[in-house]
Chain A
Amino acid sequence: KQEVTQIPAALSVPEGENLVLNCSFTDSAIYNLQWFRQDPGKGLTSLLLIQSSQREQTSGRLNASLDKSSGRSTLYIAASQPGDSATYLCAVLYNFNKFYFGSGTKLNVKP
């Protein structure tokens, strides 16, 4: 059974700090990996999508990397802001049918 793990479960940092969120997966035969943001009571907003042939993707202050051989992805957030406070989830697609989600990292950026 494919498993996706996110560490840490929660993170609190002061504003302006650079931070890294981790996502690991047990089976390296992925099709793609996606990072999401979820605000309380809302749906998930797609942040970055990395195809299996790619090593990283960037959007603004966000950079996501993918290392299939080690079964890991990281989401790097530069110069964090209070508005970045949310839960961040990663999801792995192994075939075209199902996505496997991690349990998320709850981020709090303190002003």
Chain B
Amino acid sequence: EADIYQTPRYLVIGTGKKITLECSQTMGHDKMYWYQQDPGMELHLIHYSYGVNSTEKGDLSSESTVSRIRTEHFPLTLESARPSHTSQYLCASSESRVAGAGELFFGEGSRLTVL
């Protein structure tokens, strides 16, 4: 059972609002990821982190930002939400420091609607 949690599960907000999507994992994994996925479409990597104080942009350009101050916490922030940000955001984590590891675990996702 994966121990990775995302809040909120659903969020409807107006244009221009600042939002933060929370992601926490209790497995002590070093790697964490944010993916964006529109309904019925592919996953796109928007941010990832190798560990504390390490963050990188992914393959899909995103106006969001992330931080990794603690191992277990990887929040994603949109400073000014727009309707184009409407999507599902999926957080994931994996462990790379143990031989034979590398399994990816996902949270339940945060579905964001910007009006």
> Do they bind each other?
yes
B65 — which chain A residues lie within 8 A by C-beta? none
Bitwise, A58-81 to B at CB < 8 A (1) or not (0) is: 000000000000000000000000
B26 within 8 Å of A by Cβ? no
A28 within 8 Å of B by Cβ? no
Bitwise, B24-64 to A at CB < 8 A (1) or not (0) is: 00000001010000010011010010100000001000000
A1 to chain B, nearest CB (A): 10
> What is the size, in residues, of chain A's interface with B at 8 Å between Cβ atoms?
23
B100 to chain A, nearest CB (A): 6
Cα separation A34 to B102 with both chains bound (whole Å)? 9
B109 — which chain A residues lie within 8 A by C-beta? 41-43
A51 within 8 Å of B by Cβ? yes
Among A43, A96, A99, which residue has the most Cβ atoms of chain B within 10 A? A43
Are B106 and A99 in contact, with the CB atoms below 8 A?
no
> What is the size, in residues, of chain B's interface with A at 8 Å between Cβ atoms?
26
Cα separation A36 to B90 with both chains bound (whole Å)? 14
A18 — which chain B residues lie within 8 A by C-beta? none
B49 to chain A, nearest CB (A): 10
Are B48 and A46 in contact, with the CB atoms below 8 A?
no
Bitwise, A32-58 to B at CB < 8 A (1) or not (0) is: 101010001111111001010000000
A41, A89, A98: which contacts B45 (Cβ < 8 A)? A98
A44, A49, A91, A96: which contacts B31 (Cβ < 8 A)? A96
Enumerate chain A interface residues (CB-CB to B < 8 A). Answer: 31-32, 34, 36, 40-46, 49, 51, 89, 91, 93, 96-99, 101, 103-104
18 contacting pairs across A/B (C-beta < 8 A): A34-B103, A34-B104, A43-B106, A43-B109, A44-B90, A44-B104, A49-B103, A51-B100, A91-B104, A93-B102, A96-B102, A97-B48, A98-B45, A98-B48, A99-B33, A99-B104, A101-B43, A104-B42
